[in-house]
Amino acid sequence: MQEIEMKFQMNNLKDVRETLENLGCKFSEELKQKDVIFVPDIKNTIVEEGAIFIRIRNVNDKIELNLKKRAKKIMESKEIEFEVNDFDGAYDFIKTLGFEEWVTVEKKRITTNYKEFNICIDEVKGLGEFVEIEIITSEENKADYYENEIIKVCQELSIDTNNRINSHYDTMINELNKKGE
């Protein structure tokens, strides 16, 4: 599966939520997520095509294991995700494979669907508020098409596309951690 997403820094999450509710969207319960991200080499965390990241995510006490392999475009990746029942076992498994713990990302998230897109409204500890709009598709080589469709959704939701962030939360947290050293 291909994940194509765009992320936008926000300061009007309430407005976006109200707009979506007025369009008939229903939101999930609030999810508290804690992601522990692993990389093959802690000294080389450059996100380039082919880079692999593994994540253990604790979502309201449900544990997921996720692998992302970066595609050509910045916010596009191949993604494999499934539930596991043992955080510590998953942690040991990843460490035994030789991956190193990189960063931890904590956030509150609510989700909804609009048209064929998943929309996540996030409050990320240390970073602020964001909206992610994504689609997961089996179609390859359609990133440009879906990015244009996401831009159209932004216009419908009054999201300023100039606030687009071309980075993942883990990379942003890593940069924040480096500044604090």
* Start-end of H helices in the chain: 13-22, 87-96, 143-156, 169-180
Could you say which DSSP state residue 28 is in? Answer: P
Locate the domains of the chain by residue range.
2-180
Q: What is the mean pLDDT of residues 48-64?
A: 89
- Distance separating alpha carbons of residues 137 and 151, to the nearest angstrom: 17
Residue closest to 130 by CA, chosen among 162, 173, 165, 174: 165
CATH architecture of 2-180: Beta Barrel (2.40)
pLDDT tens, position by position, 59-103: 988 999 999 888 777 666 788 899 999 999 999 999 999 999 999
Instruction: Give the pLDDT band (50/70/90) at residue 12.
Output: confident
Q: How many angstroms separate the CA atoms of 53 and 2, rounded?
A: 15
Helix, strand, coil content of the chain in percent (nearest 5):
25, 45, 30
- Which candidate, 120, 121, 157, 116, places its Cα nearest to that of 137? 116
Q: What is the pLDDT of residue 97?
A: 95
Q: Could you report the per-residue pLDDT of 123-175, keeping only the tens digit for each?
A: 999 999 999 999 988 887 788 899 999 999 999 999 999 999 988 899 899 99
- Beta carbons within 8 Å of 171's beta carbon, 6+ residues apart: 45, 47
Whether residue 6 has pLDDT greater than 90: yes
Tokens of 155: 């216009």
Query: In this predicted structure, what is the pLDDT of residue 47?
Result: 67
pTM comes to 0.83
